[in-house]
Structure 1
Amino acid sequence: MSDNLERVKTAVIVEDDPDIRHLLAEVLESAGFSTVSVGNGIDGVRAVITYQPLITTLDVNMPGIDGFEAARRIRQQSDTYIIMLTGLEEEADVVLGLGAGADEYVVKPFRPRELRARIEALLRRPRAGEPGAPSTAPRQERVGPSFPTARPESEAASPPAGSEVVVLPPPAGEVAEDAGHAWLVHRDLLLDPDSRLVRLSGDDLELTRTEFDLLATLMESKRRVRSKADLTLVLRGESYVTSYFVGDADKRAIEAHMTNLRRKLGDNPANPRYIETVRGVGYRLTSELVAS
């Protein structure tokens, strides 16, 4: 059997509580994984390097190094999906976990069915080197402008309320497609859903899978507000018809991802240029009109 097939079947469990280790092994093995269980962060990092698993679950409070540091070390050497499991549920802890490289942040106690659903949702996301993942191949040399220029703010028009724009039509003399890219455009921010490229003021922007998916959803939706529950379902592939699995921890995770995304965009929530918060509802793009 190939190394790739072996990898698809492997999950590493890093957890110091033997009862939770056993429960996690049952959940993952029922989902078709073979599991490797360790009880501390240092052994967890070693296990990930050795087995190169598809999924890694990380406790936060462990002997040796904690889960945040373990996630940082793992992320330097592996693109395994990291699910952080912890009793810490403050927004600052969620931000720290996601910033360390976690793909999911699950608060204990957790429901086994919910955890399996989250795992299945993660497996639907593209990984590095897979179709739909950010490309690392050298770009071909282009003739003409290397990327479309956003319409000047003084000339931009706000789309009608409730409208959904997939690709902004190019203004006269400017290009909305180049070298096979169909860009979504908002101010000087450009995003290509197919190649998963993002450019800000002409420079490539490095985003995580989740940050890219959130930004793409908001740019496609334009001024239509997307709730935190809605965005949670989008990240899971919109395969759920009920909000049963969307809890407070999910909404805090969306807030944390949005905090990291805004930081990378250089966006100030108090005076946003790209993404604004609709208090008590969710998020949407800012208007392209400049206030006089």
Structure 2
Amino acid sequence: MVAVIVLIIVFVVLIVPASAVRMVQQYEKGVVLRFGRLLPAIREPGLRLIIPIADRMRKVSMQTIVMPIPAQGAITKDNVTLTVDAVVYYRVADPVKAIINVEHYPTAVSQVAQTSLRSVIGRADLDTLLSDRDQINAELQAVIDAPTEGPWGLHIDRVEVKDVALPEGMKRSMSRQAEAERERRARVIAADGEFQASAKLADAARAMADTPGALQLRLLQTVVDVAAEKNSTLVMPFPVELLRFFERATQTDDPTAAETNGHRQDAMLRTDAVTRLGDVTDGKE
């Protein structure tokens, strides 16, 4: 009997005080229920005392929780079937609401995120989903944060769409569309380059027409470029301007000779005409 009493005393002295001490980590808050009733005071980090048997403490982590959303099959606004997965970043803003108002808030957040993801994807078209992820992420954050922040004491920091899995047929169609778009751009750029080159050539032709010597300079430059190549044969045309220069000089220096040449050419033309007339007469006879 005495041994039993001693054991009870040892239990009360050692075990009961140990069960009355709770350690709250720096990233946690403690919510205490006394006989099932919430105490208004929230236990801060450190060693905290509670009444054994009467009090029960629930520790709530205040860290940001990263929760992946499983891949969800959805149909976009333009009737494209795809699979989308995302990730949600949230944290507990009010530990009392997170413990009292909802049972196991991580599961609740996961269910809300899955249904919200399908709903938002159904209101967006494929082009918006692929090109404007920021808009989809902001809309997802607003939709998930609305039912969780006020009633459950949770704050959604960020929601991001990770991957969009398209059907194989849609992938091939998008690949052909992208290839056709790149080919169109290449043709437009090539046509624009040819137009600019033709405009420059037209300007150069007008400049050379106004200055005949520029054409000879361009010819000499071409000769230099061709002569730089080995084992090449170059055929130089005689400049027409030089022939015209000699012709004008001859006519200016000897007008009598020019007149004699003119008479001589007229006589040759008359002789040729008489000869052809005789040929025609003989043929008639």
TM-score over 0.5 for the alignment? no
TM-score, normalised via structure 1 length: 0.24
Asked which structure has the greater CA Rg, the reply is: 2
Query: Which structure has greater helix proportion?
Result: 2
TM-score, normalised via structure 2 length: 0.24
Higher relative contact order (CA 8 A, sep 6+): 1
